[in-house]
Structure 1
């Protein structure tokens, strides 16, 4: 029966998410997070999760992807329901947790470049629309942080990771138009900084710590720092000399840097935490900083998300990341 198939799939998804939370809490006791499992469909994707968080703006899923609408669509309601269910699981399994806890959300520029306006083309194409979406995201993030604080009340510190993988493309005028034949005009740096700062400021105002993640080459880390990011999460393989200098300055100023040195997909052979420990030490030595003195300012991460990883490697990479971090300390 079709209804039974749907119910069975939902039960399987719930079990998978419960296991994901257990893995995160077990393997990453120093920095567990709200897991994302995009394999469950568009409502669980990075964009779907963000649209579950935004306040007072409607959206729905169309054949071409997510689109803003006059009212909340069925797919946006599903995304919000799934997020609430996932947070119920996090609340249940994290009882008594007293350390740093992290959640994540797509940033305003990545969202503007991946969501369409009601009549088509990206929100990115319209100054007023991207401003409205940024404001709705900022307000929604405040509510999301408050909800997470209620659900994990014993956490000593909350971190919100703002994912901006498309920021460099937005600034470089490389985001395709809806028809695929053109590119959206580049956004001015002051506006790019202002909208990002609005979301990061909302996180700070809500009592959490804003970190920004991007694994794209050319990400303007000086702009991200200026917008108020406390943590910068990078793919080390994508850094140029200028970006490396900005990260070193951020560490010297007391900020946090997440060094993405671990593979995001299954490696061809065996991996060793010693290899990644040495890589982090070499990077710190290159910028003239002592990894041991930096302590919790350096976080060891995969280069980007693990959406393309097998379940076995997703577990293994978390284990290796935690071991590498302990080696450094």
Structure 2
């Protein structure tokens, strides 16, 4: 049957309430929410840096590596503490839970396009630094996966969603330099694939299922799939004809496609509209939802951090009822 899940971020600052909402509305594939409203350490970049063994701190321009061994900054330590506390709350609320579960992490290219080197400018400008970052992220994810399994012992399928909204910009040479007057050089496709493969391979090695999510246009889904992603999480409204072909191939190969079909900001949309848009897409590809089963997933178009709490709950409930109708 078709199932529903969320992207990751939620509005508000109450992690216990967010986890309760996710567990209640998305019983087939709940996830650990991210609450960016709590500050930079709870945003996707700070959350990822909480996992890596690289010293970082928050500067006026954003996150920067300090280059000081063993000298993790206060903000990075705070992000690590916040993640540990969120996992404590998750453990408390999933004592009797059995089933699939999802966690999210920012991918290596989005981190490289955002985090600065000790002397300034993005890590993206340094070949060695961006590879070191990917390897550190892979190591951190390995430990994180172990921790999640230890805390939620009823997990039967763990999905690790790697968020790469900047990947298309990295490949297009569209990431601005620190000054804002220039652009970083585009990254070659083989290197883009190789560094993503380091992270996705670490997920697979731990028995988890690697997905890649992006709600940015022109994301190279063929490259993502070739790097080892076994789930593609997309905004259906941004798909090109070539993207449709990649998604169809993935589904036919037994992989997962998560379609973003419910707006991530407050809006009015009916279950009928959601179901119709999915069925129209499947009909275009010549695919039957009944044959796809849980490989077809419906989601919001992107994270829900910018939505109102009431709408976020409504959106997740609507995804659940739409998934049931598709089944």
**What's the TM-score bracket when you normalise by the shorter of the two chains?**
over 0.9
In structure 2, the residue matched to 1:24 is 22
Q: Which has the higher helix share?
A: 1
- Work out whether residues 168 and 216 of structure 2, in 8 Å CA contact, stay in contact via their aligned partners in 1: yes
The Cα of 1:18 is off from its aligned counterpart by 0.5
Count residues with an aligned counterpart: 313
CA distance in 2, matches of 1:95, 1:156: 14
In structure 1, the residue matched to 2:306 is 308
In structure 2, the residue matched to 1:317 is 315
Match of 2:57 among 55, 60, 76: 60
Give a deviation string over 1:166-223, Cα, whole Å, max 9, x none.
Answer: 0000000000000000000000000000000000000011111000000111100000
CA distance in 2, matches of 1:161, 1:255: 14
Secondary structure of the structure 2 residue equivalent to 1:234: strand
In structure 2, the residue matched to 1:295 is 293
TM-score by length of 1: 0.94
The Cα of 1:95 is off from its aligned counterpart by 1.1
Give a deviation string over 1:135-160, Cα, whole Å, max 9, x none.
Answer: 00000000000000000111111000
Give a deviation string over 1:39-97, Cα, whole Å, max 9, x none.
Answer: 1110000000000011x210000000000011210000000000000000001001121
CA distance in 2, matches of 1:241, 1:271: 25
Is 1:213 the counterpart of 2:234? The answer is no
In structure 2, the residue matched to 1:118 is 118
In structure 2, the residue matched to 1:157 is 157
* Map 1:96-111 → 2, pairs under 5 A: 96-111=96-111
CA distance in 2, matches of 1:179, 1:312: 40
In structure 2, the residue matched to 1:250 is 250
- Work out whether residues 35 and 43 of structure 2, in 8 Å CA contact, stay in contact via their aligned partners in 1: yes
Give a deviation string over 1:222-280, Cα, whole Å, max 9, x none.
Answer: 0000000010000011110001110000001111000001101001xx43212101111
- Work out whether residues 161 and 211 of structure 2, in 8 Å CA contact, stay in contact via their aligned partners in 1: yes
Match of 2:281 among 273, 280, 283: 283
CA distance in 1, matches of 2:286, 2:144: 38
Secondary structure of the structure 2 residue equivalent to 1:114: coil
Stretches of structure 2 lacking an aligned partner (at least 5 in a row): 1-11
CA distance in 1, matches of 2:269, 2:162: 29
Let me know the Cα RMSD of the aligned residues. 0.9
Secondary structure of the structure 2 residue equivalent to 1:232: strand
Is 1:201 the counterpart of 2:201? The answer is yes
In structure 1, the residue matched to 2:46 is 48
Give a deviation string over 1:107-161, Cα, whole Å, max 9, x none.
Answer: 0000000100001000000000001100000000000000000001111110000
Secondary structure of the structure 1 residue equivalent to 2:119: coil
In structure 1, the residue matched to 2:178 is 178
Secondary structure of the structure 1 residue equivalent to 2:302: coil
Secondary structure of the structure 2 residue equivalent to 1:158: strand
TM-score by length of 2: 0.95
Secondary structure of the structure 1 residue equivalent to 2:311: helix
Runs of 4+ in 1 over 4 A off after TM superposition: none
The Cα of 1:290 is off from its aligned counterpart by 0.5
* Map 1:229-248 → 2, pairs under 5 A: 229-248=229-248
Is 1:187 the counterpart of 2:187? The answer is yes
- Work out whether residues 262 and 269 of structure 2, in 8 Å CA contact, stay in contact via their aligned partners in 1: no
